[in-house]
Copies of this chain bind each other. A is one copy, B any other.
Amino acid sequence: MGDALRAAPSSAAFGAALVGEGLLVPMGVPGLYGRDERLEGIITGVDRLVLRAGAADGAEPLRFPPTIPRSVLERSDYLRSFPHLAGTVHGFAGGEPEHAALLDRLERGGRWWEGLPATEVVLTPAACYPVYPAISGTLPREGRLIDVCSDVFRHEPSDDPSRLQSFRMHEQVRAGTPEQCLAHRDRWVERGLALLQALDLPGEVQAANDPFFGRAGRMLASSQRERQLKLELMVPLGGVPTACASFNYHQDHFGSAFGIRTMRGVAHTACIGFGLERMALALLWRHGLKVERWPRPVRELIGA
């Protein structure tokens, strides 16, 4: 990293440096970027580390698209907790007269999209959402452990390069008894800290809360934090500690919503997730924008 950036460590200066260096390609909307081969190489390296650790636990990899059925959002309570972050997908369903009217609105610079009905799909809000309906029913005694990674969407336009509207999340989703879920979460908290050490990244684990909407949301957030249901791996990025991974114990929330059961009753679930772009940006922030000058052990681990 240049001395100028060290002297003025802000996310804006860091974002500008990433764009100037060609690692991020602005797309013209806040929070949407293309990534060049070097940045993609770092992201792929982090992705591989999470995949391998999951494989050591016997995780089953499944890959889902960046869209899920609208019904999954409806059943999961997402709209109660995070309406401001959701993205619904709408499509044209008319004939030629409606098409002519749409083009007419477009040409006048009007809201051509008004009245487009919602399709049956929405954008995936977190990589784990398609897992819960897929494992509905009674689990085997040992529970299930699924490795997922997908593009996810959060409608929160921002110029901060660490707050993207579309980013990749690699998760390990556990379903089973409360003990199985807590053991999974605790194992990954240890692993997350060990991974930071191996990557020569400073950081720590903290109790956290999801960005629940509104006044009722503030109470949910404070209860989640008190009960330590959400922990985050905070790593400096652009001058401020930034959540690069989270460790979440949902209790029976998804088990109830999607009919997931153990022999004893409603299954519990837990998921741990790494934000791949954030991990990559934290590495660039720590070790500099020239990957070839990174410490050799870090480069080897990332495969860059």
Contacts and interface: CB of A to CB of B under 8 A. Distances in A.
Interface of A: 25, 27-29, 32-37, 40, 60-72, 74, 79-80, 83-84, 86-93, 95-96, 99, 102-103, 106, 111-113, 116, 118-121, 123, 130, 133-134, 151, 153, 155, 157, 164-167, 213-215
Given A29-B120, A88-B116, A67 B165 contact: yes
Contacts of A112: 74, 79
A102 to B, nearest CB: 6
Contacts of A37: 60-62
B96 A165 contact: no
A27 B64 contact: yes
B87 A166 contact: no
B88 A103 contact: no
A interface, by DSSP: helix, strand, loop or mixed? mixed
A120 B29 CA distance: 7
Given A27-B133, A29-B121, A37-B61, 6 more contacts: A34-B130, A83-B99, A84-B91, A86-B91, A88-B89, A99-B213
Given A83-B99, A214-B99, A69 B106 contact: no
A41 B167 CA distance: 22
Given A63-B35, A106-B79, A166-B66, A87 B90 contact: yes
Contact of A69 (B29, B36, B69, B89): B29
Contacts of A157: 120
B91 A89 contact: no
A215 B99 CA distance: 11
A70 B69 CA distance: 22
A96 B214 contact: yes
Contacts of A103: 79-80
